[in-house]
Amino acid sequence: MVHRIWDPRWESADRSTIENLQVELLKEQVKRLFNKLPYYRKKMQEKGISPEDVTSLDDLRLLPFTEKKDFMDNYPFGMFAIPLNEVVRIQGSSGTTTGKSSIVGYSRNDLDTWSNLCARLVTGAGVGPHDVAQVSFGYGLFTGGFGLHAGLERAGALVIPLSSGNTSRQIKFMIDMKSTALISTPTYALRIAEVMKEESIPREALNLKWGLFGGEPWSEAIRDQIDSNLDITATDNYGMSEVMGPGISYECLERNGMHVAEDHFIIEIIDPETEEPVADGEVGEVVLTALTKEAVPVVRYRSKDLSRIIPGDCPCGRTCKRMEKIRGRTDDMLIIRGVNVFPTQIEGVLLSIEHTQPHYQLVVTKRGALDALEVQVEVTEQIFHDEMKKLKSLEEEIRYRLKNELNLDCHVKLVEPKSLQRFEGKARRVLDQRE
Amino acid sequence: MSKDTITQLAIFIENRTGRLAEVCRHLGDKGLNIYGFSIADTEDYGIFRLICKRSEMAHEILKEAGFTVKENEVLCVRVPHKPGGLAHVLKSFSDAGINVEYLYAIADSLIVFHLDELERGKQLIRDQGIEIINQEDF
């Protein structure tokens, strides 16, 4: 196996070089946050911390966390540390509980950093100047499309910005352009394989070698399926818009953990309950500090993703820490076809229709390769009607409003009251039957 | 004084084995007789509409049992038992611009109508001397 490394100076730096850099960057970043961002200064003051208290990597633990809620509370520009005229790009993330997106901005330097990180990512995944890369991520506020696009261009690949949807057309382009790399969510890759089968297109019609998949957690079982159905080498990559976007960590061709770009990020794994660091190699919540971000600097961001640090060195030659594939979430956020969905969003839609606390359950299944979301709604007297067409139009209205809210098609099923499971304490709203 | 309408109970029922039987059992246990019913169904659920004498009590019983129930005033007409009898009644509604949301027969020639304009519909039938059934008539 040939391992290519885009930025060996940093990806393969020795430990002390990395840590010395991290300390210096961290001190600068904390100063920036304290001086420029009132919300974070307040958090620090509440904990009695000043920038001078941060002198080593261990001092990171003194600092307050940042959460998705901070992005909501400070929407739209309260997290920006530079004037808007120095911001050159806005991106954001889907799926928030308040209907507001997490909005993030990038300075010119930030975009340069980000595309360089994505160039590392694609290089690690096997893609180089001789590849034809088809980006089937959506282009828009979602960081996947623009992030990978920039990284692929920088790495010298020929980029086809096809964006998401229209699977038959995706396959036609793959054949006609002789695409060698597919960039999408893992479930979409399976969908492509499925449609090829339906349309009796043989695997030999494709030149595809590499699959770079992200945007949602996926298991090794899914990887095996993609590898064999499409006969490609599928790699995982990780990121979130609040911290940067894709490029925070990425697999190399060893496919045993995602290398963290430690010259730009510090990764911690904490116990989500106690908020203390877990022992080396133990599973916990991923917490990320962006060391070089100028427009929206973020320290100790609670990702709510569960993972662990894989001990030992990687044969690829990179020395940066590896995090395992994401195992799950600490909250009830669902990722369906790459779209973040919070049960509270669905609750909000139902509340607006029923004008009362709705009883509902979400059932996530696989329909073929794609995730399907079924929203089961209990029929109360408020919404029940003796005419079928009115019940049907109610179903349709719920479906339509959910589509507007979530940007996702779901199946709405009306059920009898109390047929949904009732739980003591926290309601279990979600039945995930995908695996 | 009679109201010239009867009360229909509509019940939401999931398409699961035994749910319909369950509704009927609850009423039977309390000695309530069902005079007639109709069902509108989809793949996932159905609307069970029924007519019984003591509709308030039936409503209570089913609500207690956890069903979603809705009461509606509907018109019950003894349609002349001869060729064209139903056609005649339907034509009078349509001529008057009254919509029939749905209808069903419950016994012999008794037809239940859910109309969008109940009062006008009642008057129309009365004017023609066609018999209207009241709850007490059961």
pLDDT digits (tens, 9 = 90+) for A47-93: 999 999 999 999 999 999 999 999 989 999 999 999 999 999 999 87
Question: Which residue of B10, B42, B68 is in closest CB contact with A416?
Answer: B68
Based on the structure, what is the number of domains in chain A? Answer: 2
Q: Which tokens belong to A340?
A: 């973040």
Closest by alpha carbon to A284, among A267, A300, A266, A305? A305
- Cα diameter, chain A: 73
Average pLDDT over residues B49-59: 93
Residue A345 and residue A426 share a domain = yes
Q: What is the pLDDT of residue A421?
A: 58
CB contact under 8 A, B66 and A392: no
**B114: β partners:** B102
DSSP state letter for A180: -
Among chain B residues, CA nearest to A381: B68
Kindly report the nearest CA distance between residue B131 and chain A, in angstroms.
Answer: 25
Evaluated on CA atoms A229, A232, A237, A241, the torsion sign reads negative
Residue A135 lies in a domain: yes
Q: What is the pLDDT of residue A6?
A: 97
Q: What is the pLDDT of residue A97?
A: 47
Residue A196 and residue A154 share a domain = yes
Q: What is the pLDDT of residue A420?
A: 63
Looking up residue A404, the CATH number of its domain turns out to be 3.30.300.30
What single-letter amino acid sits at B122?
K
pLDDT category at A382 given cuts 50, 70, 90 is confident
Residue A241 and residue A357 share a domain = no
Question: pLDDT of A216-268, one tens digit each?
Answer: 888 887 898 899 899 999 999 999 999 999 999 999 999 999 999 999 999 99
Residue A242 and residue A124 share a domain = yes
CB contact under 8 A, A384 and B102: no
Boundary-marking domain end, from A330, A365, A393: A330
Scan for tokens 């979409």, then name that residue. A188
User: Quick count: other Cβ atoms within 10 Å of Cβ B55?
Assistant: 18
Residue A262 and residue A116 share a domain = yes
Question: pLDDT of A191-228, one tens digit each?
Answer: 899 899 989 999 999 999 999 999 888 888 789 889 98
Residue span of the structural domain in which A48 resides: 8-330
Residue A2 lies in a domain: no
Residue A1 lies in a domain: no
Find how far residue B133's CA is from the centre of its chain.
11
Residue A55 and residue A139 share a domain = yes
Residue A380 and residue A261 share a domain = no
In the predicted structure, residue A435 carries a pLDDT above the cut 80:
no
Output the CA–CA distances (angstroms, integers) from residue B111 to A316, A362, B50, B66, in the order listed. Answer: 81, 41, 13, 29
Question: Which residue of A386, A415, A419 is in closest CB contact with B72?
Answer: A386
CB contact under 8 A, B14 and A416: yes
Q: How far apart are CA A413 and CA A361, in angstroms?
A: 10
Residue A357 and residue A210 share a domain = no
Residue % of chain A over a pLDDT of 70: 95
Determine which helix (DSSP H) or strand (DSSP E) holds B124, and give its type and residue range.
helix B118-127
Q: What is the pLDDT of residue A217?
A: 81
Contact criterion met (CB below 8 Å) for A226 and A202? no
Boundary-marking domain end, from A330, A361, A386: A330
Among chain A residues, CA nearest to B71: A386
Report chain A residues touching chain B, CB-CB < 8 A.
379-381, 384-388, 391-392, 413-419
Q: How far apart are CA A296 and CA A302, in angstroms?
A: 15
CB contact under 8 A, A416 and B13: yes
Residue A214 and residue A345 share a domain = no
CB contact under 8 A, A417 and B69: no
Question: Which residue of B42, B44, B68 is in closest CB contact with A381?
Answer: B68
Question: Which residue of A385, A413, A418 is in closest CB contact with B70?
Answer: A385
Does the beta carbon of B136 lie under 8 angstroms from any beta carbon of chain A? no
The pTM of the full predicted model, rounded to 2 decimals, is: 0.73
Contact criterion met (CB below 8 Å) for A338 and A215? yes
Residue A316 and residue A172 share a domain = yes
Q: How far apart are CA A214 and CA A189, in angstroms?
A: 11
Does the beta carbon of B13 lie under 8 angstroms from any beta carbon of chain A? yes
**A181: β partners:** A133, A210
In the predicted structure, residue A327 carries a pLDDT above the cut 90:
no
Q: Which residues of A touch B72 (CB under 8 A)?
A: 386
- Please tell me whether residue A318 adopts helix, strand or coil conformation: coil
Scan for tokens 């940067």, then name that residue. A244
pLDDT category at A356 given cuts 50, 70, 90 is low
DSSP state letter for A277: B
Looking up residue A189, the CATH number of its domain turns out to be 3.40.50.12780
Of residues A368 and A164, more confidently modeled: A164
Of residues B135 and A425, more confidently modeled: B135
Q: Which of B23, B45, B73 would best serve as a mutation to test chain A binding (most A beta carbons within 10 A)?
A: B45
Kindly report the nearest CA distance between residue A372 and chain B, in angstroms.
Answer: 17
Q: How far apart are CA B92 and CA B102, in angstroms?
A: 16
Of residues A101 and A45, more confidently modeled: A45
Among chain B residues, CA nearest to A415: B14
Q: What is the pLDDT of residue A160?
A: 98
Average pLDDT over residues A332-345: 82
CB contact under 8 A, A388 and B42: yes
Residue % of chain A over a pLDDT of 90: 72
Q: How far apart are CA A306 and CA A317, in angstroms?
A: 26
Question: pLDDT of A97-139, one tens digit each?
Answer: 455 668 999 999 999 999 999 999 999 999 999 999 999 998 9
Contact criterion met (CB below 8 Å) for A256 and A276? no
Of residues A141 and A21, more confidently modeled: A21
Q: Which residues of A touch B102 (CB under 8 A)?
A: 387-388
Question: Which residue of B40, B44, B70 is in closest CB contact with A384?
Answer: B70
Closest by alpha carbon to A179, among A132, A213, A226, A135? A132
Residue A3 lies in a domain: no
Output the CA–CA distances (angstroms, integers) from residue A39 to A62, A70, A96, A210, in the order listed. Answer: 17, 8, 20, 43
Q: What is the pLDDT of residue A431?
A: 83
Q: How far apart are CA A112 and CA A247, in angstroms?
A: 12
pLDDT category at A337 given cuts 50, 70, 90 is confident
Among chain A residues, CA nearest to B48: A386
The per-residue DSSP string of B56-119 comes to HHHHHHHHHTT--EEEEEEEEEE--SSTTHHHHHHHHHHHTT--EEEEEEEETTEEEEEESSHH
Kindly report the nearest CA distance between residue B70 and chain A, in angstroms.
Answer: 7
Closest by alpha carbon to A324, among A340, A308, A313, A337? A308
Helix segments in A355-430, DSSP class H:
388-406
Give phi and psi for B110, each to the nearest 5: -85, 125
Domains in chain B: ranges and CATH: 6-72 (3.30.2130.10), 74-137 (3.30.2130.10)
Mean per-residue pLDDT over chain B, rounded: 91
What single-letter amino acid sits at A314?
C
Average pLDDT over residues A393-419: 89
Boundary-marking domain end, from A313, A330, A347: A330
CB contact under 8 A, A384 and B68: yes
Residue A386 and residue A268 share a domain = no
Kindly report the nearest CA distance between residue A386 and chain B, in angstroms.
Answer: 5
**Chain pair A-B, CB pairs under 8 angstroms:** 51
Q: What is the pLDDT of residue A104?
A: 96
Closest by alpha carbon to A131, among A186, A185, A178? A178
Q: How far apart are CA A106 and CA A83, in angstroms?
A: 11
| Burial (CB count within 10 angstroms: exposed 0-12, middle 13-18, buried 19+), residue A12 | middle
**A373: β partners:** A364
In the predicted structure, residue A366 carries a pLDDT above the cut 60:
yes
Q: What is the pLDDT of residue A419?
A: 64
Q: Which of A378, A386, A412 would best serve as a mutation to test chain B binding (most B beta carbons within 10 A)?
A: A386
In chain B, count of helices (H) and strands (E)? Answer: 4, 6
Does the beta carbon of B75 lie under 8 angstroms from any beta carbon of chain A? no
Question: pLDDT of B5-52, one tens digit each?
Answer: 999 999 999 988 888 899 999 999 999 989 999 999 888 899 999 999
Residue A427 and residue A318 share a domain = no
